[in-house]
Amino acid sequence: MTTANRRIVLAARPHGEPNPSHFRLEETRMPVAREGEVLLANRYLSLDPYMRGRMSAAKSYAEPVAIGETMVGATVAEVVASHHPDYRVGETVVGFGGWQDFAISDGRGLRRLDPAAAPVTTALGVLGMPGMTAYTGLLNIGRPKAGETVVVAAAAGPVGSLVGQIAKRKGARAVGIAGGPEKCAYLVDTLGFDAAIDHRAEDFPDTLAAACPSGIDVYFENVGGAVFDAVLPLLNNFARVPVCGLVSGYSATELPPGPDRVPVLMRAVLSKRLHLQGFIVWDFAAQEPEFLSEVGGWLRDGLIVHREDIVDGLENAPEAFAGLLKGRNFGKLIVRIG
């Protein structure tokens, strides 16, 4: 048995876009589980846009990762040693093992997986944090009604693709925004979106307007920037905007040039009676059982489709993460470890 633990630590805080130089692969000694703890061998690491925020010193809803500290992240892991009454060796769990081969857990935040019920990687995507983000944000804040138009950006990603599919299940029209013709075709042909718009196209705002002839009732915001600019004039009275992420601005080093358009946004909020609300998935933690039951059922019954983009090797996580922020992945980005 190996006695080393490879881990990826934050080497430097990026100013602008992160690249592999901001990370460092280290070998440390294998951690040891004490009483009340389990030793986890991470099998799959989830890479998600929120990690960009943890690389910055600015406090957001969570503390930043310290320089030299292991990068945080959700993992699917195997229990390889247990001094915890609830977990046995050989069980598969999902938790927050971080960017490393092995992790210690006292059981908090762990959830046992049944590999027979669904592929274990789904616990990082469609049946994990991204799926629950889509489910809780759309249903609690977006509240789409039959016949309404729901627009989501990064629509081929794990959050956006579920937002669109849930919108369809609620009888709404789903319009996805994604980067490039391949992802757009996937949205319509495979996921059943009513329309898909390539935000890289020159005439993106006009194409979006044409795809939303009755305006937009729900805009699930996970991108910001130019996409939000194109959406704002199309929002209908009483539109709901769950604000889940702003990935286009995560690596911005300065504000966009003027004029200051805050008054434009606020006037739209007032005159259209918009409802903008930020959220993070754990605000709705109490809804996890309902989410797992409902979306798990849809998945088993083949009513929803999901897609994974799996990268091999912990050492490739930094490069894959940098690509994630540029939209290079196609589906839920996961690193296979070991």
116 touches a second copy (CB under 8 A): no
Q: Return the residue of 259, 286, 289, 301 that touches a second copy, per CB under 8 A.
A: 259
Q: What distance in Å separates the CA atoms of residue 313 and residue 129, rounded to the nearest whole number? A: 22
244 touches a second copy (CB under 8 A): yes
Q: Return the residue of 96, 279, 298, 330 that touches a second copy, per CB under 8 A.
A: 279
Choose one: 40-48, 66-74, 160-168, 239-247; the region binding a second copy (CB under 8 A): 239-247
145 touches a second copy (CB under 8 A): no
DSSP 136-158: HIIIIII---TT-EEEESSTTSH
Q: What distance in Å separates the CA atoms of residue 80 and residue 42, rounded to the nearest whole number? A: 10
Choose one: 83-91, 176-184, 241-249, 308-316; the region binding a second copy (CB under 8 A): 241-249
Choose one: 80-88, 102-110, 212-220, 277-285; the region binding a second copy (CB under 8 A): 277-285
262 touches a second copy (CB under 8 A): yes
Neighbours of 59 (CB within 10 A): 9
Q: Return the residue of 1, 57, 270, 286 that touches a second copy, per CB under 8 A.
A: 270
Q: Return the residue of 12, 66, 252, 285 that touches a second copy, per CB under 8 A.
A: 252
Q: Residue 279 CB, nearest distance to a second copy (Å)?
A: 5
**Residue matched to tokens 């920037």:** 225
117 touches a second copy (CB under 8 A): no
Closest CB to a second copy among 119 and 233?
Answer: 233
Answer whether 55's CB lies under 8 Å from 8's CB: no
132 touches a second copy (CB under 8 A): no
Closest CB to a second copy among 21 and 61?
Answer: 61
Between helix 129-136 and helix 158-169 the angle, nearest 10°, is 40
Per DSSP, the three-state class of 312 is strand
287 touches a second copy (CB under 8 A): no
Q: What distance in Å separates the CA atoms of residue 240 and residue 222, rounded to the nearest whole number? A: 14
Closest CB to a second copy among 72 and 276?
Answer: 276
**Residue matched to tokens 């050492």:** 315
Closest CB to a second copy among 97 and 157?
Answer: 157
Residues 294-333 that bind a second copy (CB under 8 A): none
Per DSSP, the three-state class of 59 is coil
DSSP code for 95:
E
Residues 192-231 that bind a second copy (CB under 8 A): 221, 224-225, 228
**Beta bridge mates, 333:** 309
In terms of phi and psi (left: phi > 0; alpha: psi -120 to 50; beta: otherwise), the region of 59 is beta
Between helix 288-300 and helix 129-136 the angle, nearest 10°, is 100
Q: Return the residue of 35, 202, 254, 301 that touches a second copy, per CB under 8 A.
A: 254
Closest CB to a second copy among 19 and 60?
Answer: 60
Joined tokens for residue 173: 């029209």
Closest CB to a second copy among 72 and 265?
Answer: 265
280 touches a second copy (CB under 8 A): yes
111 touches a second copy (CB under 8 A): no
Name the phi and psi angles at 144, rounded to 5. -70, 140
Name the phi and psi angles at 234, rounded to 5. -95, -10
What single-letter amino acid sits at 177?
Answer: I
Contacts with a second copy, residue ranges (CB under 8 A)? 60-61, 221, 224-225, 228, 237, 243-246, 249, 252, 254-267, 269-280, 283
